[in-house]
Structure 1
Amino acid sequence: MNTHRSNEVFAETIRLLERIEKQSDDKSLANQALHVRASAYMMLGDADKVIELLGDTVTLPVSSEVLLATAYNKNHSGDQALSLLQSSIYKNIVGLLGAYPELLKIYENDLTAAEAWIVRIKKVVDAFGVQNIQPATLLPLYLSSATLYVRHGKTAEALGYLKAYTKLLTSSHMFPLRLKRTELFDSINSFFGYFDFETTPPRSEAIIRQYFKEALIKNPVFDVLKGNAEYAAIRDEISSIADAIHTDMPMEYIPFLIPM
């Protein structure tokens, strides 16, 4: 899909989402439409419009999950309470991980601060077994960490993250892109199953895999590694992924493709 056609699709999407916001009697649906519309503007590179749409909407979160779970439990609906609480915890973890790539960009010139976040995020991932619930969530983390280390001339650290990125992307464990129950999160699917947009990807898995492939091999940040034998091996391995389509989507928008 060429850039002109992509922009046309985004423009039509934005128009439809705006209609939903104005005409829907469902406040939750209207709010979701607003955030998706802001994401579309971000993909078009219109940061000012995103700020205009969302700048006044950021407030201290008021979560009803715990209160509702307490009510379910009091009414002897422990299974519903457990599913709701586990899903709430998982959503908060996803929110933390989603902020990580942008956080590293902000701390790009402060490696000490950035590494403090890297260490703690790794502990969160390991503690909750995120790689077993939705492994694709880790791909933007690996890529942003590798980018940071390349820019600071730390080749060994960058290669370590690129190897982890490639291993995950080429593994059979990552697909299908669905939330998977674990020993810790054993009731999570019961809640998210009601919302297809949170458990299934918005695009085909072949296309998503290709986007992640191009995020590495077409990323100019890693050009400084082209003379490195380990990096050459990484490129060879990831290049074996067959192309699904030709795409020109900017790399920074790839995280929007991953379902929760």
Structure 2
Amino acid sequence: MKDLQFANTIATLRKQKGLTQDEVASFVGVSKAAVSKWETGLSYPDILLLPKLATFFNLSIDELLGYKPQMTKENIQKLYAELSKDFAVKPFDEVYTRIKNMIDEYYSCFPLLMQMAVLLLNYQHVAGDLQQEIIRKAIKLCQRIEENSEDQRLAYQAGSLEAHCQLFLQNPKRVLELLGDGVEPYTGNEIIVANAYQQLQQPEKAKETLQVSMYQNILGVLGIAPNYMMMYVDQPEVFDEVVLRMEGMMQTFDIYNLSFNNALIIYLTAAQGYMMQKNEKKAIEMLKKYIKASESIVFPITLHGDAFFDLIDEWVMRELDLGPNAPRDEQTIKMSLISGITENPILKPLILRPEVKTMIENLKHTLGCD
């Protein structure tokens, strides 16, 4: 109980309420000396006395002991950002140990468990020999949320994250168990919700509902595109058409500014695809666009709307667990922008070209990673 600062807690509570040690002792049924020892940390009350003490001070037992089983959204965001920065400068084992301790302390705080699973997955690439353990740890956290959380949205997110992990571990059957084996028909619920807000004379909520839906659907299409693109790498004409349409969509909605990560993945995937087609000219063209997008990134990175999606920012702050903050620290993001090219085996033949070497060096300089 020393770690829970029980002594300070009970002394502070008694003084705040203007009570004497005799009054506390009389109510609980112990001596004044016993209360004095509690307040000085020389001894602690019998566990059977805790409910009576908590009742006396009108607190829960957790509050009496100074234990908070839940963490606020704001504190989860701060902790995530702090741990993310630690991964960039401290040994992985040290940060991982702290994460495990936080998980043990807040094992019933499911939003925290979710973000710790996300954090571990975002840094599993630097875990070395612990990578498999990290993936399995994330799966266990997701399964605890799925089985115990009463928040259906959080449980759904945990199931999706577990499916991602299971796919990494090459367990496709489990993925289909979690997510189903097909695509459900589009229901258009957001249109119904928007109309309901209209009937309630809340036009701004109706606008936000539709705008957020458009925003997510656009990013969803761009997120699916790289996988879809690679399905047609052996059909150059179809591959070209997918690249062309995605570029058009990115230009129309200014994706460089709105969600640069989608643009980066599409250009990098396109470069890989063209290399597989032995089309180095187009591969270099895609790399140039990847580097241009990388050099246009404004740090620190935040998720935000723009002049068209002008109702997104408030929704991001309100609904997303990490708010507008990036899921990885700035230095790790910068290094991954470079390693996406330099450590990509499919692109290796291009890296030896003077033109590409110069582009990479310029990117390193722009990002401050010389």
**TM-score, length of structure 2 as denominator length:** 0.61
Q: Residue 308 of structure 2 corresponds to which residue in structure 1?
A: 184
1:39 maps to 2:181: no
Tell whether the 8 Å contact from 1:175 to 1:205 is kept in structure 2 after alignment: yes
Superposed CA RMSD:
2.1
1:238 maps to 2:356: no
Q: Residue 247 of structure 1 corresponds to which residue in structure 2?
A: none
Deviations 1:84-127 (A, max 9, x none): 11110010011100111111211010010111111111111122
CA distance in 1, matches of 2:345, 2:295: 21
Kindly provide the amino acid, as one letter, of the partner of residue 184 in structure 1. F
Say which is worse superposed, 90-99 or 209-218, in terms of deviation.
209-218
CA distance in 2, matches of 1:95, 1:207: 24
Kindly provide the amino acid, as one letter, of the partner of residue 279 in structure 2. K
1:53 maps to 2:181: no
- Structure 1 residue 61: Cα displacement: 3.5
**TM-score, length of structure 1 as denominator length:** 0.84
Bigger relative contact order, structure 1 or 2, given CA contacts below 8 A and separation 6+?
1
- Structure 1 residue 242: Cα displacement: 6.1
Gaps of 5+ in 2: 1-125
1:166 maps to 2:288: no
Q: Residue 128 of structure 1 corresponds to which residue in structure 2?
A: 253
CA distance in 2, matches of 1:55, 1:77: 36
CA distance in 1, matches of 2:351, 2:183: 42
Given the alignment, which residue of 241, 244, 251 partners 1:119? 244
Q: Residue 148 of structure 2 corresponds to which residue in structure 1?
A: 23
Given the alignment, which residue of 217, 220, 239 partners 1:95? 220
Kindly provide the amino acid, as one letter, of the partner of residue 125 in structure 1. M
- Structure 1 residue 45: Cα displacement: 4.2
Deviations 1:7-60 (A, max 9, x none): 212211111110111112222221111001111223344444323422347422
- Evaluate the alpha carbon distance shift between residue 57 and residue 149 of structure 1 in structure 2; reply closer, same or farther with a 3 A threshold: closer
Given the alignment, which residue of 334, 340, 347 partners 1:209? 334
Tell whether the 8 Å contact from 2:233 to 2:273 is kept in structure 1 after alignment: yes
Q: Residue 156 of structure 1 corresponds to which residue in structure 2?
A: 281
Tell whether the 8 Å contact from 2:316 to 2:323 is kept in structure 1 after alignment: yes
- Structure 1 residue 148: Cα displacement: 1.3
Deviations 1:199-244 (A, max 9, x none): 332221221222232111000111222442211112323344567x
Tell whether the 8 Å contact from 1:69 to 1:81 is kept in structure 2 after alignment: yes
Aligned pairs for 1:48-87 (under 5 A) are 48-56=173-181, 58-87=183-212
CA distance in 2, matches of 1:228, 1:128: 33
Q: Residue 350 of structure 2 corresponds to which residue in structure 1?
A: 225
CA distance in 2, matches of 1:153, 1:114: 13
CA distance in 2, matches of 1:135, 1:180: 11
Q: Which protein has the larger Cα radius of gyration, Structure 1 or Structure 2?
A: 2
Equivalent residue of 1:193, what SS? helix
Tell whether the 8 Å contact from 2:272 to 2:346 is kept in structure 1 after alignment: yes
Spell out structure 1 runs of 4+ moving beyond 4 A.
Answer: 239-243
- Structure 1 residue 130: Cα displacement: 2.0
Tell whether the 8 Å contact from 1:166 to 1:237 is kept in structure 2 after alignment: no
Tell whether the 8 Å contact from 1:104 to 1:114 is kept in structure 2 after alignment: yes
Tell whether the 8 Å contact from 2:256 to 2:293 is kept in structure 1 after alignment: no
Kindly provide the amino acid, as one letter, of the partner of residue 186 in structure 1. D
Aligned pairs for 1:193-204 (under 5 A) are 193-194=317-318, 195-197=320-322, 199-204=324-329
